[in-house]
A = this chain, B = another copy of it.
Amino acid sequence: MNNQHLHKLRVKNIGIDTYRENTIYMRADCHICQSEGFTALTRVMVNFSGRSIVATLNVVYSELIHHNEAGLSREAMKRLEVKDGDEINITHLDHIESLSKVRAKIYGKELNEISYHEIISDIVAGKYSNVELSAFVSSCADDNLSVNEIISLTKAMINTGQRINWGKDMVLDKHCAGGLPGNRTTPIVVSIVAAAGLMIPKTSSKAITSPAGTADMMEAITRVDLSVEEMKKVVKKENGCFVGGGSMQLGPADDILISVEKALDIDSQGQMIASVLSKKAAAGSTHVLIDIPVGKTAKVRSNEEALHLQYYFKAVAEAIGLNVTVVITDGRQPVGNGIGPALEAIGVLSVLRNETNCPKDLKERSLVLAGELLTMSGKFEQGKEKQVAKEILESGKALNKFMAICKAQGGFTEPEYGKYRFDVLSEKSGIIKEIDNRKLARIAKLAGAPKSSRAGVWYNAHINSKISTRDLLFSIYADAKGELEYAKDYLKSINDLIIIE
């Protein structure tokens, strides 16, 4: 009933960035606060020109805003599309029905498809506060979701975002479960598959907790923030692309949930599967290859866990009409030499250019994955697909395709090493037995990756290689002296980064 009591104030742009949390600033002596009983942290509806957002109230006891004015955080102004002086309505937030479903989930109940649709719709509409989002994410954490719930969640995510239609029966895609520094096969695989005449419009994310994502690496050499329309043009011309998915609103629910998971640093198997498959479906893919590297310090730590994931991926994919193949790969050590955007790009180019000293492991993994994708397409002689991929790579066709895509996306810049370097030498001789991926990634991040695109680690000592005292294990690159020091400080504080016996 309170919705009938509308109240108007003029927007004042006070230039405060509160990131995702929409905030409205109203005076303590404002007539709306007083008549409606609004206090700090009350959640209110803010309405302008047919659009609405939910915002959290901060109460102002100063002359920061004048009578009849309200401040809005920058993101809130953008979402509501208002500017200084526009007149907004502020109303009570109606009861959010879907929160009762979240409570049921907290109490351990299994939710149905309608419930997930309601929850995800309200989340995308910005109705949940951070506290409520956190409760939902926590209740889904670990393996608290059944297969049916993951299917429902995936469908809800697909139905609340954009979905690209390529007008083709077969649109290929790949995903890596992650956790291996330097494992940058995507640019090579996409180049091979696109050169083979198949459509593979790859969208990638930026790094969330790693030293680089594919989008970070590609951004070191070309433009990746293409709109959906621009991406379509590139793909029409070249069969493939390397686009950053962040700006395309393909999975608005997913982006919000991931930001909360990241803040809590918790993993949710169900949410991860829903996230990956809903993004692929939204991107218009039909055939998806999923690479799960297994290793003690990779994201997935045991073969058992990988098989469990494989089962879930396949069950959910089938329910939403996606064709999925899962490959379980060796995840014991970094792939290639580069860790960090530009350093990884240097390795990728070295493989594409068939340089004699190119990273063989990166090349081999790329050929395996490209071969699997060609196999999924069913368009090549059975059993020969990896050979076809190899010929495309070694003939230079993959490099040509890569360069053509870069050109179509906006140009190509040769990647460079960071300005400052620190070499880490072996203190003993022997055979490399074990490498801690997580600690190595941490060093690259402290050195500035991915924000400093030329920062990171150039890794030189793979498992089973023979090392003598004072041989180079790896080099740290940075673009700022302070960051090089951070990385070195951390290096001094840890043990067992590389085990030599």
Interface residue ranges, A against B (CB under 8 Å): 1, 13-21, 25, 28, 35, 37, 39-41, 58-62, 64, 73-74, 99, 103, 106-108, 129-135, 137-139, 141-142, 260, 263-266, 451, 482, 486, 489-490
Which B residue's beta carbon lies closest to that of A131? Answer: B134
Task: Please indicate the chain B residues that have their CB under 8 angstroms from the CB of A266 in the complex.
Answer: 103, 106-107, 135
Judge whether A265 and B62 touch: CB under 8 Å.
no
Contacts of A62 in B (CB 8 A): 13-16
In the complex, 23 of the A-B residue pairs with CB atoms within 8 angstroms, ordered by the A residue number, are: A13-B62, A15-B60, A15-B62, A15-B64, A16-B59, A16-B60, A16-B61, A17-B28, A17-B58, A18-B41, A19-B40, A21-B41, A106-B142, A106-B266, A108-B142, A130-B134, A131-B131, A131-B264, A134-B134, A134-B135, A135-B137, A135-B264, A138-B139
Q: What residues of chain B lie closer than 8 Å to A20, measured between beta carbons?
A: 41
Residues of B within 8 A of A37 (CB): 451
Residue pair A15, B263 in contact (C-beta under 8 Å): no
The one of B40, B64, B135, B137 that contacts A18, using a Cβ cutoff of 8 Å: B40
A132 to B135 Cα, complex, angstroms: 9
Which chain B positions have C-beta within 8 A of A99? 264-265
From B1, B17, B131, contact of A130 by CB (8 A): B131
- Are A17 and B40 closer than 8 Å at their CB atoms? yes
Q: Which residues of B contact A490 (CB under 8 A)?
A: 1
With A131-B134, A138-B134, A138-B139 in contact, is A41–B19 under 8 Å at CB?
A: yes
B-chain residues with CB within 8 Å of residue A59 when the two chains form the complex: 16-17
User: Which chain B residues lie closer than 8 Å to A131 at the CB level?
Assistant: 130-131, 133-134, 260, 263-264
Chain B residues contacting A482 (CB-CB under 8 Å) are 35
| Shortest distance between the CB of A82 and any CB in chain B (Å) | 16
With A and B bound together, what is the CA distance between A28 and B61 in angstroms?
Answer: 23
Partner of A61, one of B61, B74, B103, B129: B74
Cβ-closest chain B residue relative to A13: B62
State how many angstroms separate the Cβ of A355 from the closest Cβ of chain B: 35
User: A74 to chain B: which residues have CB within 8 Å?
Assistant: 61
In whole angstroms, how far apart are the Cα atoms of A40 and B16 in the complex?
9
Instruction: List 11 additional contacts besides A17-B58, A61-B74, A131-B264; criterion CB under 8 Å.
Output: A17-B59, A19-B41, A35-B482, A37-B451, A99-B264, A103-B265, A106-B142, A107-B141, A132-B134, A132-B263, A132-B264
Give which listed residue, B17, B108, B260, contacts A60 with CB less than 8 A: B17
On whether A18 and B58 interact (CB within 8 A), knowing A131-B260, A135-B264, A451-B37, the answer reads: yes
In the assembly, what is the distance between CA of A265 and CA of B95, in Å?
A: 12
Which of A19, A73, A451, A490 has the most chain B CB atoms inside 10 A of its CB? A19
Tell me which of B129, B138, B260 contacts A263 (CB under 8 A). Answer: B129
Q: Could you say which residues of chain B place their CB within 8 Å of the CB of A25? A: 16
> How far, in whole Å, are A264 and B41 apart by their CA atoms in the complex?
13
Q: Are B138 and A106 in contact (CB under 8 A)?
A: yes
Known A37-B451, A106-B141, A142-B107; judge A61-B133 contact (CB<8 A): no
Bound form: Cα–Cα A107–B37 in Å: 39
- What separation, in Å, do the CA atoms of A25 and B73 have in the docked complex? 12
| Contact among B14, B134, B138 with A64 in the assembled complex (CB-CB below 8 Å) | B14
Contacts of A40 in B (CB 8 A): 17-19
Contact residues in B for A139 (Cβ distance below 8 Å): 138
CA distance A131 to B266 in the complex (A): 12
CA of A142 to CA of B103, assembled, Å: 9
- CB A299 to nearest CB in B, in angstroms, measures 16
Of all chain B residues, which has the CB nearest A140? B106
Among A15, A64, A451, find the residue whose CB has the most chain B CB atoms closer than 10 A: A15
| Bound-state Cα–Cα, A17 to B33, Å | 13
Residue of B nearest to A485 (CB): B1
Chain B residues whose CB sits within 8 angstroms of the CB of A103 once the complex forms: 264-266
| Residues of the B chain whose Cβ atoms lie less than 8 Å from the Cβ of A17 | 28, 40, 58-61
Bound together, the chains give a CA A60 to CA B142 distance in angstroms of: 37
A137 contacts which chain B residues (CB < 8 A)? 135
- For A58, list chain B residues within 8 Å (CB): 16-18, 73
User: Which chain B positions have C-beta within 8 A of A263?
Assistant: 129, 131-132
Contact residues in B for A35 (Cβ distance below 8 Å): 482
Chain B: CB-nearest residue to A451 = B37
Determine the distance from Cα of A263 to Cα of B103 in the docked complex, in whole angstroms. Answer: 12
Q: Which residues of B contact A64 (CB under 8 A)?
A: 14-16, 64
- What separation, in Å, do the CA atoms of A28 and B16 have in the docked complex? 10
Closest beta carbon of chain B to A173's beta carbon, Å: 31
Cβ-closest chain B residue relative to A15: B62
Chain B residues with Cβ below 8 Å from A264 are 99, 103, 106, 131-132, 135
